[in-house]
Every structure is written in C-alpha cells, then in structure tokens.
C-alpha cells in the first residue's frame, strides 16, 4: 500500500516537472529570419524617384517613427532595423528589391511597400516564400484575400469601397449626371473603376466617357479635353498626385467646371492641390479616414499635438501640410502594435496571426469613429471613410463616417 503512494507521488512530481518544462519551452523565444534578442529587421520598398516620388515622404516618416520607438527602448527590448529601398514605382525594380530584402538582407517581413503595380509584381513571390507582405500602401481590393494570399494584407480602405461611396453620393445628389472618368491604366485604376461601376449598378450608363492614361505620358491634358467634349458634368478622377494636379489645372484652363471627385490617394494638399492651385481646386470632393493636420478643428487635438511633437524631434523638415506624413505615422503605429503583440514569438506565422486579430484598435491620427478591425478571414483593416470638400486651403469634412465594406 505504502509503495503505491510513493509511486503515485513520484509520478505526479514527474508530471509536474514535465508541465513546468513545457511551459518553459513555450516561453522560449521563437525567431524567424531577421530577428535576434536585440533586433527586428523590417524591409520596405518606396518610390523615392520616378512618377510617384511624392509618396516617398511615407518611407521617410516611417523611418523617423521607428527611430522614435528605438530611442524609447525598442519593441520588447529589440530595436527596429528599417531597410528601405527605391523602386521608382517600376514593378521589375520592385521584384529586384524584394528579392534583395528577403534573400540577402533576410528581413522578417516587408512592410508598407507602395503602389498597386509594384505590390502586384511581388504578390506571388512573397506568398511562395511565406514572408509577410504587410500593410501594403495601396487600396487594391485583392489584398484582402486571406485564403488565396495568406501572407499579404492591406491597411487603408480599399479602392472599390471608396468609389462605391462616391457612386452612392452621385446617385443621390446628381441623379441626372453625365459622368466622365479618368483612370490610370493598371490594376490600381481598374480597381477604382470597378467600384464606381458596381456602385452605379443599373445606372452605369451615366458614364459618358472613360479616358485611361499611362504613367509614362508626360501630360494628361488631351484626356481632360476629351472628357469636356463628351459633355461630362461630373468628373471621377482616378489618378496619382502628379496627374491629378495636371487634371485640375487643365480643367481650369479650358473652363470645364464639373463636380470633381478625386481619389483619396491624391488628396494631399502639398502633393496635389498646391501645385494645381487652390483657386482651381475649390469644391473638389474626396474622402478621408485620417485627420488632416491642416484642418483648424484639430488644432488642440491630442493626436495632432503628439504628431507635431514627434515631428519636431524626429522629422523636423517634414511638410506638415502633406497628408502622406500622417499616413506614414498611422501605419507605422499599426506595425509596432503587431510586433508588440508578438512578444517573443517573432515568427512570420505569428506576425500574420497577430495582424489578423485586431479588434477595434484605434491608431492616433484616424478620424473619430474609424477603427482597425481584422480577423483570420478579413484582411481589410480599415473600411470606413468620410467625405470632404476643399474649402479655402483645407479639406472640410461633411456627412457621416460611412462603411464601404467590400470583400474579395
């Protein structure tokens, strides 16, 4: 009898020891490429040159934000090593830079690489390598494909939901409109165009003319002339800042005064509106999900105060009227949040798991009511927008925050 007790005690002690050991094993650090006890290596690809170079301030803001995090002790004791390369918005160059980051720099992930054509060029590669292509700086709907491409995730509201919101607004306020569309002839432009057509539904015949342009064209003036000639009185402008500024200028020059809807990717005051001229830009409608620091209503807002303090210290030369600076700030916070959530399990699989489990996460800089939500089947972190109209030298928000949930 006595010996049974001893054996049972020995057995329970052994089980306890095993349990303790497995807990210790669980608590042990798990790393993939790019991670050590002191460092997390993150890759990034930006158009520091070429037709989309006005977006390069996003990369500069992110670098500054990671410097701030590092100065404050890093992420769970690890410093971020942010490696950012130029692709000139040229997809073949993007492929080259992604390979360099993954295969020779051996980064943990690629974060917020910019543009629809560039990200499309590395989409399959990143997923076959099982390296996170995280919070890409493009709103194409296809980044929300958790099943087909489990290693790629968007961040900003997707293009189709944005143009669907414009379509709803046009149908309600301009039911007899003749719509003229300018769009960039690639995945980005076509995605926006699809959203517009889906949003118009049976009224798609309201579109009287579509003009597409290539990024290699020096000017889009002739396309604007064609849209005016078609009798369009509503203009849906799907173009990047360089061409958006040209479109505004040319419309004014030929005295074409349509109701102008400008895609949000070109809503930067400094990159689009200022070069085009404030006088010519009055009344343009776009949408927002981030606070515009030039808007007087945020003058005493804690988020914008914190953003200004951050810029004073880490990126003093930043143009504070540039919407891309607040964008870079907000998306970098999201990246830091995910890495913090990973704890000591800094594997690529856990990075994606944490990124796909954000509930009502609020980032400093988002408009009130806009929250980040993801799940293992929903890779679209932000799906809310508010319309805004240019008045004077700033955007003025109007209407409610609208959800434009589009899957795919």
Listed range (10-14, 272-276, 322-326, 337-341) with the worst mean pLDDT: 10-14
Under the banding of pLDDT at 50, 70 and 90, the label for residue 9 is low
Res 348 pLDDT > 50: yes
Under the banding of pLDDT at 50, 70 and 90, the label for residue 402 is confident
SS3 per residue for the chain: CHHHHHHHHHHHHHHHHHHHHHHHHHHCCEECCCECCCEEEEEEEECCCCCCHHHHHHHHHHHHHHHHHHHCCCECCEEEEEEEEECCCCHHHHHHHHHHHHHHCCCCEEECCECHHHHHHHHHHHHHHCCCEECCECCCHHHCCCCCCCCECCCCCCHHHHHHHHHHHHHHHCCCCCEEEEEECCHHHHHHHHHHHHHHHHHHHHEEEEEEECCCCCCCHHHHHHHHHCCCCEEEEECCHHHHHHHHHHHHHCCCCCEEEECHHHCCHHHHHHHHCHHHHCCCEEEECECCCCCHHHCCCHHHHHHHHHHHHHCCCCCCCCHHHHHHHHHHHHHHHHHHHHCCEECHHHHHHHHCCCCCECCCCECCCCCECCECCECCCCCEEEEEEEECCEEEEEEEEEECCCCC
Under the banding of pLDDT at 50, 70 and 90, the label for residue 168 is very high
Res 364 pLDDT > 90: yes
Q: What is the pLDDT of residue 317?
A: 97
pLDDT digits (tens, 9 = 90+) for 16-60: 555 555 454 455 899 999 999 999 999 999 999 999 999 999 999
Under the banding of pLDDT at 50, 70 and 90, the label for residue 171 is very high
pLDDT digits (tens, 9 = 90+) for 87-127: 999 999 999 999 999 999 999 999 999 999 999 999 999 99
Closest CA to 271 of 243, 299, 310: 243
CATH of 39-157+297-377, one of 3.40.50.360, 3.30.70.3040, 3.40.50.2300, 1.10.10.10: 3.40.50.2300
Q: Report pTM.
A: 0.85
Q: What is the pLDDT of residue 106?
A: 98
Under the banding of pLDDT at 50, 70 and 90, the label for residue 403 is confident
Res 406 pLDDT > 50: no
Q: What is the pLDDT of residue 18?
A: 54
Q: What is the mean pLDDT of the chain?
A: 93
The domain limits of the chain are 2-31, 39-157+297-377, 159-288+389-403
Q: What is the pLDDT of residue 144?
A: 94
pLDDT digits (tens, 9 = 90+) for 216-248: 999 999 999 999 999 999 999 999 999 999 999
Q: What is the pLDDT of residue 407?
A: 41
Question: What CATH number was assigned to the domain covering residues 159-288+389-403?
Answer: 3.40.50.2300
């Amino acid at each position: 009898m006595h010996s049974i007790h001893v054996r049972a005690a020995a057995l329970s002690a052994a089980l306890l020891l095993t349990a303790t050991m497995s807990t210790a094993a669980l608590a042990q650090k798990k790393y993939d490429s790019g991670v050590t006890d002191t460092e997390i290596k993150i890759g990034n690809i930006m158009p520091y040159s070429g037709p989309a170079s006005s977006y390069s301030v996003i990369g500069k803001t992110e670098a500054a934000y990671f410097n701030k995090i590092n100065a404050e002790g890093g992420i769970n004791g690890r410093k971020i090593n942010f490696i950012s390369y130029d692709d000139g918005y040229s997809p073949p160059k993007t492929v080259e830079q992604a390979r360099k980051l993954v295969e020779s720099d051996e980064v943990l992930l690629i974060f917020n690489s910019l543009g629809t054509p560039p990200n499309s060029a590395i989409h399959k590669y990143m997923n076959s390598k099982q390296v996170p292509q995280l919070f890409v700086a493009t709103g194409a709907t296809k980044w929300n494909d958790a099943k087909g491409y489990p290693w790629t995730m968007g961040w900003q509201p997707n293009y189709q939901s944005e143009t669907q919101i414009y379509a709803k607004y046009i149908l309600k306020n301009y039911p007899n409109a003749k719509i003229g569309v300018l769009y960039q002839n690639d995945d980005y432009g076509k995605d926006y165009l699809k959203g517009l057509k889906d949003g118009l539904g049976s009224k798609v015949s309201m579109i009287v003319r579509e003009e597409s342009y290539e990024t290699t064209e020096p000017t889009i003036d002739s396309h604007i002339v064609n849209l005016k000639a078609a009798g369009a009185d509503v203009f849906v402008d799907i173009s990047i800042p360089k061409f958006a500024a040209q479109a505004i200028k040319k419309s004014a020059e030929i005295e074409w005064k349509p109701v102008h809807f400008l895609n949000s990717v070109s809503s930067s005051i400094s990159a689009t509106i200022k070069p085009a001229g404030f006088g010519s830009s009055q009344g343009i409608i776009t949408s927002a999900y981030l606070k515009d620091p030039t808007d007087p209503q945020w003058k005493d807002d804690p988020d914008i105060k914190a953003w200004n303090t951050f810029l004073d210290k880490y990126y003093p030369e930043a143009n504070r009227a540039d919407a891309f600076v607040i964008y870079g700030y907000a998306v970098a916070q999201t990246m830091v949040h995910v890495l913090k959530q990973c704890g000591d399990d800094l594997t690529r699989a856990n990075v994606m798991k944490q990124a796909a489990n954000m509930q009502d996460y609020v980032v400093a800089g988002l408009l009130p009511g806009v929250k980040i939500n993801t799940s293992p089947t929903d890779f679209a972190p932000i799906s809310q927008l508010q319309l805004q109209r240019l008045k004077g030298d700033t955007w003025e928000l109007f209407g409610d925050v609208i959800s434009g949930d589009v899957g795919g």
